[in-house]
Amino acid sequence: MSSLSTRPNILVVGSGGREHAIVWKLAASDRVGRIYSTPGNAGIERLGQCVPIDAADVEGLARFAQEADCHLVVVGPELPLSLGLADRLAAQGLQCLALQRPLPGLNHQRPMPRA
């Protein structure tokens, strides 16, 4: 097992079930340093540190990622991407993992059907 100082810190942006699953899997790895989530939720808080930065606050997210020495930022929701977060992180030399285009068959304009 590597020391905490040599393992990469990771920021996960979002507060839903998808982000919880990502944090849960990252927390199970001994190859990951600190895990931060913005804004996170109660379930994520048990696995990593939640930071109260809104997902739409691109400048705040980029600043925190830099200050927390995050090597990777995983972005779940589309909103911060549409506001330019991936470009902002790239300008700082930070890696960003995110869905780059909508999945086939998903229509975000149409309301979800009810069962």
Residue 61 lies in a domain: yes
Domain span at residue 66?
4-98
Residue 65 lies in a domain: yes
* pLDDT band for position 6 (cuts 50, 70, 90): confident
What is the CATH number for 77? Answer: 3.40.50.20
**Into how many domains does the chain fold?**
1
Residue 29 lies in a domain: yes
Cα R_g (the chain), whole angstroms: 15
Q: What is the pLDDT of residues 33-90, one digit of tens each?
A: 999 999 999 999 999 999 999 999 999 999 999 999 999 999 999 999 999 999 999 9
Residue 3 has pLDDT above 60, yes or no: no
Residue 111 has pLDDT above 80, yes or no: no
Residue 108 lies in a domain: no
Please state, in angstroms and as integers, the Cα–Cα distance from residue 101 to each residue in 10, 65, 70, following that order: 22, 23, 24
Q: What is the pLDDT of residues 19-29, one digit of tens each?
A: 999 999 999 99
Residue 78 lies in a domain: yes
Residue 106 lies in a domain: no
